[in-house]
Structure 1
Amino acid sequence: MRDQHVLALDVGTQSARAIVFDARGRLVASAQTAFEPYQSPHPGWAEQAPEVYWDAICESCQRVWAQPEAHPGRIAAVSLTTQRGSVVCLDAQGQPLRPAILWLDKRMQPGLGNVPGPWGWLFRALGVEETIAQFRADAECNWLAAQEPDTWARTRHFLFLSGYLSLRLTGQIRDSVGCQVGYVPFDYQRQRWAHRMDWKWRAVCVRAAQLPELVPVGKPLGRLTPEAAAALGLRADLPLIAAAGDKACEVLGSGALSPDTACLGYGTTATINTVSPRYHEVIRYLPAYPAAVPGHFNTEVQIFRGFWMVSWFKEEFGAAERALAASAGLPTEAVLDDQVRDIAPGCDGLMLQPYWSPGVREPGPEARGAIIGFSDVHTRAHLYRAILEGLAYALRHGRERIERSTRQPIHRLRVAGGGSQSDVAMQITADVFGLPAERPHVYEASALGAAICAAVGVGLHPDYRTAVRAMTHVGDVFEPEPASVATYDELYRRVYARMYRRMRPLYRQLARTAVAG
């Protein structure tokens, strides 16, 4: 058993990875295949051919077996984690009918309004009519039914990307409970499809027969078909163990297993998560998502377009830094980190609110980004540091929401995702939160979380707590600096915490003006 490995398939927005881990959490071998993130036939759309993801998985697997430490014969199980909320329409033969609609797609089907009937009366009385209307407008199936009725009429199976790839791997129309994050009639509290009388069936047009069978995290979704095994370079009949969505697996792979430990995900969407055995809605009427631990929940707060803002800054303002980095053979982020390292905490009075993409409830659909405090001392480097500080402020706000909801103080921070590779971002995080910021021992925390699910699922470890102790370890630790903590605490309480409330009426006016224009 000690010599057996597990294979984690991690499918993101820009690449797919095949990563082999041993039972101690050591990364044995990995391969990554990049692809164009999406096509955008119309402004705001984000689509991708589902086959792109499958081909990238297969290529990554074939490349990983070329590495000397990776042995296909030692693989005990396979697990899969993917981007969340991307949907695929399949016909009766399981073939895609159109490109997948990705999680960052902005198309909407307006005009549906509140749910009709008694549920609608209740939502109106509770003051959440606008939230329900936004849910219905955002639901991809509602857009498909209205705008592509022929395609929707032929859609026999409506799956998340995880369900589509599970089908390609096993031949079964099944998906993990831990991957159900999106606009489908899922009962998040009971972690199953919603009861037939639930309001969600009236809010969206998808029907039960179009949805997959759900399998609990840590249980087999099926076994690799001979065709899938050949494409991946593995033996047939290997079990595919249900894992969870990428964020849930990232939390598990960071070693966050209790409500007092928060995992900050510094990825395209920045998040703060804790794991709880109890269901808590951190923001009222927005659900707690399934965790990568069976029967547990992630109390997640999201900052949409989180560390995407770093890419935005590089593209719009960082031409000089990109050129300097290219000539020195360094990542652009390394050059930017050097430029902002000596800027004092607080950016000489520059403050950024990172709502570059609106939310559903808090922040609401009217939200916009804001930067205040400009003066003649500020440079592009100040703006870059203000982005890092603004994201940390927003996640601290999320921490306070989680603590109020769960009544459980957060004492430890684990920071994962691409942004965690920045020492400056890690130190800012420690100082804004006033807590040590810890990196997991491997950068690929999401894949490691999926590997933990596989390891428990095939008995390499008896339970999740044992597996987490054996397979996750703390890497670098950034201690908070008292003077910086004091500066950030005052700025957060006296400025940042008041910004959204003060700016909200102006955001609403901007939204009305944009619509009128």
Structure 2
Amino acid sequence: MTSYVVGIDNGSQSSKVTVYDGNGRTCAVGRAPLPANDTPRPGVVEYPDDVLWESIADACRLAMADFDGDPHEIVGIGLCTIRFCRAVLRADGSLAQPVQSWMDERVGRPYRAETIDAAYVTTSSGYITHRMTGNFTDTVANYQGMWPIDAAAWAWSSHEQDFQRTGMSRDMLFDLAMPGEVLGTLTSGAAAVTSLPQGVPVVATANDKAVEALGAGLRDPGTLLLSLGTYIAGMSVGDAGRTGTTSFWTNFGSEPGKHLYESGGIRRGMWTVSWFRDLLGEGTAREAEARGDTVEEMLGREALGVPAGSDGLLTVPDWLAPPEAPARRGSILGFDGRQGRAHLFRSILEGIAMTMKERTDEMADELGTTFERVVVTGGGASSDLMTQIVADVFGLECVRLDGGSSAGRGAAICAAVATGLVPTFHEGVDRFAVVKDRTAPISGNTRIYQELAEVYRDVRSTTDQIYRRSRAILG
């Protein structure tokens, strides 16, 4: 009998569901988009209605429609959802108010009741776990930030002041499970709306970045993961929970006792590519379609003919100002009449890679390690040009994995461990995280980027002064 596991990856822009066989081979895929967030007032960013659950259910149905195996041979479901969200539930587990996005200012502040029927406060994974199993249980590894969590013990705090500090009493919080443990089994109601078989174990994973790291095969401190998504982050792994660091922060890993080290990132990272694509308008979209390409594919091919450094065009992707520099803005510098759309496209990708090289170098220095290779995941990893630019900027081999969502693959590994399909997380990574290709750096390009790095480091100190002055005038 062939056994299968399902990996659920609920991301910021869509939900992806993948069915894998016991050898880690992708057998079926379903994807459902998420609508735009609601922003009813400044600082509030919410998921409208019940779209998190609905998108997951839609993606499950699409995956099962694509699956030609026996659904009764599905032995486990790994659940991974968007991190840093806050869900407030009634006593029956239904939403008392819209789920708060990770971009919502309230998730960084102590909880304050906004409805009279609020009974539970949990994460997006806790809410979806309840929708799938009926249990009030969640993975411990999705609790970072404003929660009364003891990160060293992987448990709720034993100190009353932590509950007072976060505004949450213990009876409002779910029970906790470790990654790779069973949260419950799929109810008949959830089975009916997802087309997944009733009674299948639903398995705890971690926060989405840690699950992505597991699915990307990140196991040793010499490997750096670049997650090229809406939020771009650089990640490494280790056994110790680090505190008091300045260039990275420590999060729970997807394997009990393991930790994820995460550098400073880029908010609205690969969103910049979508923004530029849409800015070019319908004429460019029709041109690409006539060539049998997407706009990104067409621009990527054109940009292959642009030299490293984009003929002097320099992009600094600060599209969202950080709290410590509220006047900061993104910059595209160096126009002189030589550049066209291909230069702009390449410069955006170079700006992303240069920014992440700077930030992950700082993390490596503080960790006392040297990265020997880079693994790229996320939507940006589908671009051959982006992969080559990363290899050139970092001066390292750049690795891509076979299959789709790394977070879905990581979720499936957790499900495989929990159900005995694989004996260990190590074996799960060996079986599921298969290298698709490796890109070597072009030495001449690397030399150019190494020299540009010194220029790039000085840009913000100059532009910050300009943006502070312009903000005083324009707001």
Task: Provide the residue aligned with 1:489 in structure 2.
Answer: 450
Shift of 1:44: 6.1
Q: Secondary structure of the equivalent of 1:392?
A: helix
Task: Provide the residue aligned with 1:423 in structure 2.
Answer: 384
- Whether the 8 Å contact between 2:88 and 2:120 is mirrored in structure 1 is yes
Q: Give 1:96-495 correspondences, 5 Å limit.
A: 96-105=95-104, 108=105, 139=108, 145=112, 150-151=114-115, 153-196=116-159, 201=163, 203-281=165-243, 283-284=245-246, 287-301=249-263, 302-360=265-323, 364-492=325-453, 494-495=454-455
What is the CA–CA distance in structure 1 between the aligned matches of 2:473 and 2:253, rounded to whole Å?
Answer: 41
Task: Provide the residue aligned with 2:86 in structure 1.
Answer: 87
Deviations 1:106-145 (A, max 9, x none): xx4xxxxxxxxxxxxxxxxxxxxxxxxxxxx762655xx3
What is the CA–CA distance in structure 1 between the aligned matches of 2:470 and 2:151, rounded to whole Å?
Answer: 34
Deviations 1:170-218 (A, max 9, x none): 11111112222443333434433344266x6565433333222221111
Quick one: structure 1 residues 41 and 206, their matched pair in 2 at CA, closer, same or farther if it must change by over 3 Å?
same
Quick one: structure 1 residues 281 and 318, their matched pair in 2 at CA, closer, same or farther if it must change by over 3 Å?
farther
Task: Provide the residue aligned with 1:132 in structure 2.
Answer: none
Task: Provide the residue aligned with 1:125 in structure 2.
Answer: none
What is the CA–CA distance in structure 2 between the aligned matches of 1:348 and 1:398, rounded to whole Å?
Answer: 24
Paired amino acid for 2:314? M
What is the CA–CA distance in structure 1 between the aligned matches of 2:390 and 2:318, rounded to whole Å?
Answer: 18
What is the CA–CA distance in structure 1 between the aligned matches of 2:184 and 2:472, rounded to whole Å?
Answer: 51
Q: Secondary structure of the equivalent of 2:381?
A: helix
What is the CA–CA distance in structure 2 between the aligned matches of 1:354 and 1:479, rounded to whole Å?
Answer: 25
- Whether the 8 Å contact between 2:396 and 2:441 is mirrored in structure 1 is yes
Deviations 1:445-481 (A, max 9, x none): 1100100111111111111111111211111211100
Shift of 1:380: 2.9
What is the CA–CA distance in structure 2 between the aligned matches of 1:368 and 1:208, rounded to whole Å?
Answer: 41
What is the CA–CA distance in structure 1 between the aligned matches of 2:336 and 2:107, rounded to whole Å?
Answer: 39
Shift of 1:388: 0.3
- Whether the 8 Å contact between 1:306 and 1:354 is mirrored in structure 2 is yes
What is the CA–CA distance in structure 2 between the aligned matches of 1:195 and 1:403, rounded to whole Å?
Answer: 33
What is the CA–CA distance in structure 1 between the aligned matches of 2:315 and 2:243, rounded to whole Å?
Answer: 27
TM-score normalized by structure 2?
0.92
Shift of 1:102: 1.5
Structure 2's unaligned 5+ residue stretches are: none
Task: Provide the residue aligned with 1:78 in structure 2.
Answer: 77
What is the CA–CA distance in structure 1 between the aligned matches of 2:211 and 2:318, rounded to whole Å?
Answer: 25
Shift of 1:357: 1.3
Structure 1's unaligned 5+ residue stretches are: 109-136
Paired amino acid for 2:310? C
Task: Provide the residue aligned with 1:499 in structure 2.
Answer: 459
- Whether the 8 Å contact between 1:229 and 1:236 is mirrored in structure 2 is yes
What is the CA–CA distance in structure 1 between the aligned matches of 2:243 and 2:21, rounded to whole Å?
Answer: 36
Identity of aligned residues (%): 31
What is the CA–CA distance in structure 1 between the aligned matches of 2:71 and 2:119, rounded to whole Å?
Answer: 35
Q: Which piece of structure 1 moves more, 160-169 or 9-18?
A: 9-18
- Whether the 8 Å contact between 2:177 and 2:183 is mirrored in structure 1 is yes
Shift of 1:444: 1.5
Shift of 1:327: 3.4
Paired amino acid for 1:379? G
Q: Which piece of structure 1 moves more, 301-310 or 426-435?
A: 301-310
What is the CA–CA distance in structure 2 between the aligned matches of 1:328 and 1:205, rounded to whole Å?
Answer: 56
What is the CA–CA distance in structure 1 between the aligned matches of 2:181 and 2:49, rounded to whole Å?
Answer: 25
What is the CA–CA distance in structure 2 between the aligned matches of 1:235 and 1:450, rounded to whole Å?
Answer: 18
Paired amino acid for 2:31? Q
Q: Secondary structure of the equivalent of 2:183?
A: strand
Shift of 1:61: 2.4
Q: Secondary structure of the equivalent of 1:222?
A: strand
Shift of 1:49: 3.3
Paired amino acid for 2:385? V
Q: Give 1:17-96 correspondences, 5 Å limit.
A: 17-42=16-41, 45-49=44-48, 51-96=50-95
- Whether the 8 Å contact between 2:110 and 2:165 is mirrored in structure 1 is no
What is the CA–CA distance in structure 1 between the aligned matches of 2:98 and 2:386, rounded to whole Å?
Answer: 36
Task: Provide the residue aligned with 1:120 in structure 2.
Answer: none
Paired amino acid for 1:98? Q
What is the CA–CA distance in structure 1 between the aligned matches of 2:32 and 2:120, rounded to whole Å?
Answer: 27
Q: Secondary structure of the equivalent of 2:142?
A: coil
What is the CA–CA distance in structure 1 between the aligned matches of 2:249 and 2:158, rounded to whole Å?
Answer: 16
Q: Secondary structure of the equivalent of 1:57?
A: helix
Q: Secondary structure of the equivalent of 1:309?
A: helix
What is the CA–CA distance in structure 1 between the aligned matches of 2:357 and 2:49, rounded to whole Å?
Answer: 36
Quick one: structure 1 residues 61 and 16, their matched pair in 2 at CA, closer, same or farther if it must change by over 3 Å?
same
What is the CA–CA distance in structure 2 between the aligned matches of 1:189 and 1:369, rounded to whole Å?
Answer: 37
Q: Secondary structure of the equivalent of 1:257?
A: coil
TM-score normalized by structure 1?
0.85
Paired amino acid for 1:208? R
Paired amino acid for 1:353? V
Q: Secondary structure of the equivalent of 1:288?
A: strand
Q: Which piece of structure 1 moves more, 418-427 or 405-414?
A: 405-414
Deviations 1:132-173 (A, max 9, x none): xxxxx762655xx3xxx542x432111211110001111111
